[in-house]
Structures are given as structure tokens and as C-alpha cells.
């Protein structure tokens, strides 16, 4: 590993660890989450059976997010092997950020509980993809 690759690899490890943390919050806590990022009293369940089904779907999505984070962590060690995968995952995160724009309550996007994530998804992940792309070409 070259000295110039170290900041990228450390960034991938940190980003991956953050994503894993966020994913596990949902995997282990479902729609209510484990509360690692704030209060969990935002849901009143009117239909427990239907809630259990939706909660299970949300746990699956949390598992997918956790897996995505684990790939970023793995790429901090095996960068060249996972470089193309990282580019695809960055694009996937951007797509997720764009999906937020479909909300019927656009003002929600400006809420400080959403806006930092949205900025990361639509600005930081494209920049990370560019960094990964350039680092891959610099090594060849």
C-alpha cells in the first residue's frame, strides 16, 4: 500500500463502520430502531400484525445497508479487488439519495435529521466515487 492510498483506505474503513452502525441500528431495532441516533417513541402501532410485517421488511433493508457497509470496510483492506464494487455501491447510495426526493413532504428534506444524510448521499458519495475511480487509475 502506498502512502497516498492510506487516506482513502482509512476513509473507506470509517465510512463502512458508520454505515454498519446505522444498519445495525435498524437490523436490531426494526422500524423503531435501537435508538442509537435518537428517541424511538415516534411510532404508534394501530395494527400489530401489519406492523410486524412492515417491521420485518425494514429489518431486511437494514441488513442490506449493513452489508453495504461491510463491503466498504473490506475494501479498506482489499481496495483493488473491490474497486468496481465500491463504484457501484456509491452509485447505489446516490440512487437512494435521489429516491428521497420522491417524498410528498419536500420540507422533510430540510429537516436537520435528514439534510446531512441527503448531502452525504448526493454530494459526498459522488466525490468518494471520483476519488475511488482516480485512485484505481493511478495504481495502474
pLDDT digits (tens, 9 = 90+) for 37-52: 888 888 889 999 999 9
- Tell whether the model's pLDDT for residue 139 goes beyond 80: no
Structure confidence by residue, pLDDT tens digits, 9-22: 999 999 999 999 99
Length of the chain in residues, anyone? 140
Query: What is the pLDDT, as a whole number, of residue 11?
Result: 97
Whole-number mean pLDDT of the chain? 94
140 has a pLDDT exceeding 60: no
What contacts 113, CB < 8 A, 6 or more positions away?
A: 38
Mutual orientation of helices 125-138 and 6-29 as an angle, nearest 10°?
Answer: 140
pLDDT at 40: 85
Residue-level pLDDT at 38:
85
Amino acid at each position: 500500500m502506498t502512502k497516498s492510498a492510506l487516506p482513502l483506505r482509512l476513509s473507506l474503513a470509517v465510512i463502512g463502520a458508520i454505515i454498519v452502525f446505522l444498519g445495525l441500528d435498524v437490523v436490531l431495532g426494526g422500524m423503531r430502531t435501537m435508538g442509537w441516533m435518537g428517541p424511538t417513541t415516534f411510532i404508534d402501532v394501530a395494527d400489530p400484525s401489519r406492523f410486524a410485517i412492515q417491521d420485518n421488511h425494514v429489518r431486511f433493508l437494514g441488513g442490506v445497508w449493513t452489508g453495504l457497509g461491510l463491503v466498504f470496510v473490506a475494501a479498506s483492506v482489499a481496495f483493488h479487488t473491490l474497486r468496481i464494487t465500491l463504484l457501484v455501491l456509491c452509485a447505489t447510495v446516490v440512487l437512494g439519495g435521489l429516491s428521497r426526493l420522491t417524498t410528498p413532504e419536500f420540507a422533510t428534506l430540510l429537516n436537520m435529521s435528514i439534510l446531512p444524510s441527503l448531502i452525504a448521499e448526493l454530494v459526498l458519495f459522488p466525490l468518494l466515487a471520483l476519488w475511488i475511480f482516480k485512485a484505481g487509475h493511478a495504481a495502474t
